[in-house]
């Protein structure tokens, strides 16, 4: 099939490369010509494992091309995926202007039947509003299918090629049949393809992300309670997760969830409900609870150090999670801002996100420095705080790290280290709800 994907961001580019890998002919449309030129040279606009290889392979095979000419790509395509950003406006509502503008352009330049598949995350009712809006714009014959994505940064390719499910929302049999055809390679893997109405498809995306955010928040609250009671949050998470009704995933405590989706989608879901006259107290409490974690981490340090004023804190990890250079709503940056506010100086290192973090913290240049290695970042530090679960941090030489420091405090916000091992290397260890080290090792040996 001939397909077009509009918007070569984190969703659109992955979708374009993966759809080409299914065997379709895909044209990726990107408004910025310099990004198109870079993509043609296999230079990715962001880091995503495996993406460069997939783009290269499919460009070489002649199935994937890039252009900034929307009209040309649309003319050739039967189905057009729209993957433009819907980043929040200052009011907190998603900004749907790019989606509407692009859709208008599409229908204005088409003369034969097209299917528009909405990949962008949009509030309930958007497809219906868009349909009504476009009907007044141009006579072109088209249908809309809501097709939300569930890609996780760091494993986006795998998620697209082997999804848990595909959601197709709409009411046109013709368009839904065509959309099914696009995803036909997934039938071989027996991927569930759910066909629902537009409103359900739109809500499924928010419900999924809000549920994940709630699950993480729940275990983070348990970690706080474990700290007060001496229980071990990993024993709790494992036992709770073994209950098949609950499942083991997304029960890892940390500094709070971040990124471009979970925080935004949880807020939007609560706001959407308010606009429909409903209150969702559970969903509303999730961001509130999540925002208490970084202040708790700072208080822990202050308890041990007296004050952060004049102290140097080494921050390891700035990305909101591993395998990405994305720092949007990263708890690590929130931690840095709070530590700076409390008077600390920051020496930071992230394997990929130093540059993105430097941009986000540009106003704080005097008190934050970025380093190419964790050991350089730790030089002269009074405390080290590990905020992102990079694999290379798991295997850090703790003795070497300690040797670089002035102090001996290790705040392990992701519970990457064995507390006893860290203590043996001379650290005073602070984790998230680790209880006594004895119960941690018992869980480990029971698992082993
Ligand atoms: C999420 C959804 O998982 C994905 O389906 C959706 O399409 C986009 O939003 P992503 O933002 O890439 O994906 O990250 P994810 O891996 O879900 O993690 C989100 C945040 O939760 C990160 O800050 C992560 O560190 C945190 N997290 C995740 C935890 O603190 N504990 C966990 O157990 C899991």
* Residue 443: pLDDT over 60: no
Position 438 confidence tier, pLDDT thresholds 50, 70, 90 = very low
Dump the DSSP string for 87-98: -B-TTSSB--HH
Rounded Cα–Cα distance for residues 321 and 324 (Å): 7
* Torsion angle in degrees (nearest 10) through CA of 185, 189, 195, 199: -100
Instruction: Produce one character per residue of 141-180: b if its CB has 16 or more CB atoms within 10 Å, e if not.
Output: ebbbbbbbbbbebbebbebbbebeebbbbbeeeebbebbb
Inter-residue contact 15 to 80 (CB < 8 Å): no
Please tell me if the CB atom of residue 430 comes closer than 6 angstroms to any atom of ligand 1.
no
Q: Active-site residue among 226, 261, 294, 314?
A: 261
Please tell me if the CB atom of residue 216 comes closer than 6 angstroms to any atom of ligand 1.
yes
Give me the residue spans of the domains in the chain.
2-196, 211-447
Q: Name the CATH code of domain 211-447 (choices 3.30.70.1290, 3.40.50.300, 3.30.930.10, 3.40.50.720).
A: 3.40.50.720
* Residue 409: pLDDT over 60: yes
The count of other CB atoms within 10 Å of the CB of residue 359 is 9
Edge-to-edge strand list for the sheet holding 25-29? 64-67, 25-29, 2-6, 79-82, 114-118, 142-146, 166-169, 193-196
Length of the chain: 448
Rounded Cα–Cα distance for residues 149 and 11 (Å): 8
Parallel, antiparallel or unpaired: strands 383-386 and 409-412: parallel
- Percent of the chain at pLDDT exceeding 70: 97
* Residue 47: pLDDT over 50: yes
Mind listing the pLDDT tens digit for each residue in 125-152?
999 999 999 988 877 789 999 999 999 9
Mind listing the pLDDT tens digit for each residue in 111-120?
899 999 999 9
Q: Same topology for domains 2-196 and 211-447, yes or no?
A: yes
Closest residue by Cα to atom 3, ligand 1, is: 152
User: Does the predicted model carry a pTM greater than 0.85?
Assistant: yes
* Residue 336: pLDDT over 70: yes
CA angle 99-104-110, nearest 5°? 125
Helices assigned H by DSSP within 258-348: 262-275, 281-290, 293-305, 331-341
Inter-residue contact 412 to 432 (CB < 8 Å): yes
Please tell me if the CB atom of residue 401 comes closer than 6 angstroms to any atom of ligand 1.
no
Of the candidates 445, 442, 316, the one whose C-alpha atom is nearest the C-alpha of residue 372 is 316
Instruction: Say whether 261 is catalytic.
Output: yes
Instruction: Give the DSSP H/E element, type plus range, for residue 13.
Output: helix 10-21
Question: Class of 2-196 per CATH?
Answer: alpha beta
* Residue 251: pLDDT over 90: yes
Inter-residue contact 168 to 176 (CB < 8 Å): yes
For the segment 57-64, the average pLDDT, to the nearest whole number, is 97
- Nearest-atom number in ligand 1 for the CA of 155 is 12
Q: Which residue from 260, 261, 265 has its CB within 8 A of the most atoms of ligand 1, so it is best to mutate?
A: 261
Taking the alpha carbons at both ends of the chain, their separation in whole angstroms is 49
What's the chain's average pLDDT? 94
């Amino acid at each position: 099939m001939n397909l077009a994907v509009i918007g070569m961001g984190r969703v659109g580019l992955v979708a374009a490369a993966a759809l080409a890998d299914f065997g379709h002919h895909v044209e990726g449309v990107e408004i910025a010509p310099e990004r198109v030129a870079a993509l043609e040279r296999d230079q990715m606009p962001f880091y995503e494992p495996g993406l460069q290889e997939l783009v290269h392979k499919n460009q070489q095979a002649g199935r994937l091309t890039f252009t900034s000419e929307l009209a040309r790509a649309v003319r050739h395509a039967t189905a057009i995926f729209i993957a433009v950003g819907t980043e929040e406006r200052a009011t907190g509502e998603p900004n749907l202007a790019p989606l509407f503008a692009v859709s208008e352009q599409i229908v204005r330049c088409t003369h034969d039947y097209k299917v528009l598949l909405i990949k962008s995350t949009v509030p309930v009712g958007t497809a219906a509003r868009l349909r009504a809006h476009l009907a007044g714009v141009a006579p072109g014959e088209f249908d809309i299918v809501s097709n939300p994505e569930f890609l996780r940064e760091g494993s986006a390719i795998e998620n697209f090629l082997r999804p848990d499910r595909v959601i197709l929302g709409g009411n046109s049999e013709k368009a839904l049949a065509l959309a099914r055809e696009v995803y036909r390679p997934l039938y071989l893997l027996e991927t569930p393809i759910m066909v629902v109405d537009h409103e359900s498809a739109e809500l499924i995306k928010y419900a999924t992300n809000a549920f994940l955010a709630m699950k993480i928040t729940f275990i983070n609250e348990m970690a706080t309670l474990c700290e007060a009671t001496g229980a071990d949050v990993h024993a709790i998470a494992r036992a709770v997760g073994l209950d098949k009704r609950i499942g083991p995933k997304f029960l890892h405590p940390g500094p709070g969830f971040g990124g471009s989706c979970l925080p935004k989608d949880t807020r939007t879901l609560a706001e959407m409900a308010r606009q429909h006259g409903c209150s969702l107290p559970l969903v509303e409490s999730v961001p509130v609870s999540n925002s208490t974690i970084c202040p708790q981490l700072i208080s822990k340090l202050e308890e041990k150090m007296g004050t952060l004023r004049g102290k140097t804190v080494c921050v390891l990890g700035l990305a909101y999670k591993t395998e990405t250079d994305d720092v949007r709503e990263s708890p690590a940056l929130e931690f840095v801002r709070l530590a700076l506010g409390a008077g600390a100086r920051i020496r930071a290192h992230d394997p990929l996100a130093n540059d993105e973090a430097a941009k986000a913290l540009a106003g704080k240049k005097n008190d934050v420095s970025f380093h190419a290695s964790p050991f350089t970042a730790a030089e002269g530090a009074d405390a080290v705080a590990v905020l992102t679960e990079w694999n290379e941090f798991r295997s850090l030489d703790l003795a070497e790290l300690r040797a670089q420091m002035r102090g001996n405090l290790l705040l392990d916000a992701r519970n990457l280290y064995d507390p006893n091992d860290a203590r043996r290397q001379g650290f005073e260890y602070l984790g998230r709800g680790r209880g006594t080290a004895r119960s941690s090792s018992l869980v480990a040996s029971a698992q082993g």
